[in-house]
Amino acid sequence: MRTCIYGGTFNPPHLGHLAAAKAAVEELQLDQILLMPNQTPPHKVMPANSATPEQRLEMCRLAAELVPNCKASDFELQQPGPSYTADTVERYHAAHPEEELWLLVGTDMVESFHRWRDPARILKHVRLAVVARDEADRESIRAATENLRREYGAGIDILNNPPLPMSSTEVRASRDGSLLPEAVAAYIREHRLYRPSLEELEQRVQGMVKEKRYRHILGCRDTAVELARKYGADVETVAYAALLHDMTKEFSLEDQLKLAEKWNIILDYEQENLPHLIHADTAAAMAREELGMWQAVCDAIASHTVGGEKMSRESLIVYLADLIEPTRAFPGVEALREAAVRDLTEACILATRRTIEFVKSQGREPYYKTAKTLEELMKNTSETEEKE
């Protein structure tokens, strides 16, 4: 059995890791390659909102499904506390003496290998499989491996695959889902990992809209948070959604249509409604694609203008907060504010009726989903009344 151990933080596992694993399987004809997340190493500072060891293992499981003969392994996580590679390979060899072993390392790791604890003990049990992280690494790999051969008599195989330059640090900072297997990107979104802080987003949104709209956005966020506390909804979801709901509103229609095309957004609005409504869809897609926001946030952003079917409590709150936040001053807003502290559904019904009236007064036809929203909200109240 030809086995390769591929250790790392995998915070998160990205396409570069998978390309390296695939190359190792093919070039070394491996029976298995094990993505083996380590305990949080003492020399690494883990980023805020970072993944736990269990989450890194789960992401490795999702990623491993994409490479033949690849599996995630909890071998190192089973040991309490950070362990040295020398101990890991020794323990692995003791548990599986019949297996022929490799240890897969990227350029940075092979360069620092002589400084690891007990390189000779590691190399007693494994051959090194070395993968370039960048085409420019070839020369330094040659120099590092020559030294290791000379000093330790290391068995080394250098892989020839074309590298896929990227790092987990870059993935976390850019939140670029295209550097990740889709299943891992979805896991990160739904577990709210590596998410930007609200403060970071405030700055970003402030740079995207005019002063007046920014005040509206902050008002909407504060109102939404207050309502979420009152109605037992997820405060974090509404805070993020309210902060992002209007972030694309001042983009030109042309730019918004380009975003819609880029993110395959289906727009079924009447032509006359499109300029008023498209921002909800582009902001929701931007929240997902560029900021890694979880589904509940994206749903609340998408429904903030026209409503939607089966809206969650968080979506209803953002929808309402958008209309009643303190900078709003249309006739009737006070009645909506009063209703909002009495009953969430009742307030949303009033708000939706008002929106329908308003759109009609502008000589436009309300979007069909808004009428459906009203119908559904009314059904919910009559069902609640029946139960009471």
17 binds ligand ATP (CB under 6 A): yes
21 burial class (0-12, 13-18, 19+ CB within 10 angstroms)? buried
User: Would you call 277 helix, strand, or coil by DSSP?
Assistant: helix
Minimum CB separation of residue 134 from ligand ATP in Å reads: 8
Nearer to ligand ATP, 8 or 219 (CB): 8
Q: Does 128 bind ligand ATP (CB under 6 A)?
A: no
- Our finding on whether 168 is near ligand ATP (CB under 6 A) is yes
Q: Which residues does 306 contact at the CB level (< 8 Å), separation at least 6? A: 277, 280, 367, 369, 370, 373
Helix axes 235-244 and 295-302, enclosed angle (nearest 10): 50
Q: Per-residue string for binding with ligand ATP, 61-80, x by CB under 6 A?
A: --------------------
List, in order, residues 6 or more apart from 212 with CB less than 8 Å away: 327
Comparison of 41 and 275: residue with beta carbon closer to ligand ATP: 41
Q: Does residue number 308 form part of the binding site for ligand ATP (CB under 6 A)?
A: no
> Reading across the β-sheet that carries 127-131, which strands appear in turn?
70-72, 32-37, 2-8, 100-106, 127-131, 156-158
Beta carbon nearer to ligand ATP, 111 or 246: 111
**CA pair distance 210, 217, nearest whole angstrom:** 11
Q: Which helix (H) or strand (E) holds 106?
A: strand 100-106
Number of residues lying near ligand ATP (CB under 6 A): 20
User: Where do we find the tokens 């599986």?
Assistant: 96
Q: Which of 166, 280, 285, 350 binds ligand ATP (CB under 6 A)?
A: 166
d(CA 225, CA 240): 10
Check residue 133 for interaction with ligand ATP (CB under 6 A): yes
Instruction: Decide: is 49 part of the binding site for ligand ATP (CB under 6 A).
Output: no
The torsion angles phi and psi of 5, rounded to 5 degrees, stand at: -90, 125
Binding flag, residue 10, ligand ATP (CB under 6 A): yes
- 164 lies in the binding site for ligand ATP (CB under 6 A): yes
- What the block records as the tokens of 36 is 């083996």
Task: Give bridge partners of residue 7 from the DSSP assignment.
Answer: 36
Measured from the Cβ of residue 250, the count of other Cβ atoms closer than 10 Å reads: 12
Contact 324, 238 (CB under 8 A): no
Q: Is 155 in the site for ligand ATP (CB under 6 A)?
A: no
Shorter beta-carbon distance to ligand ATP: residue 120 or 173: 173
Closest distance to ligand ATP from the beta carbon of 74 (Å): 16
Q: Please choose, out of 15-23, 84-92, 284-292, 331-339, the segment that lies near ligand ATP by the rule CB under 6 A.
A: 15-23
State which residue, 21 or 228, has the beta carbon closest to ligand ATP: 21
Q: Please identify which residue in 3, 4, 16, 216 interacts with ligand ATP, judged by CB under 6 A.
A: 16
CB closer to ligand ATP out of 33 and 239? 33
Binding mask 81-120 for ligand ATP (x = CB under 6 A): ------------------------xx-xx-----------
Contacts of 370 (CB under 8 A, 6+ apart): 306, 307, 352, 355, 356, 359
Nearer to ligand ATP, 168 or 312 (CB): 168
Binding site for ligand ATP (CB under 6 A): 8-11, 16-17, 20, 105-106, 108-109, 131, 133, 163-169
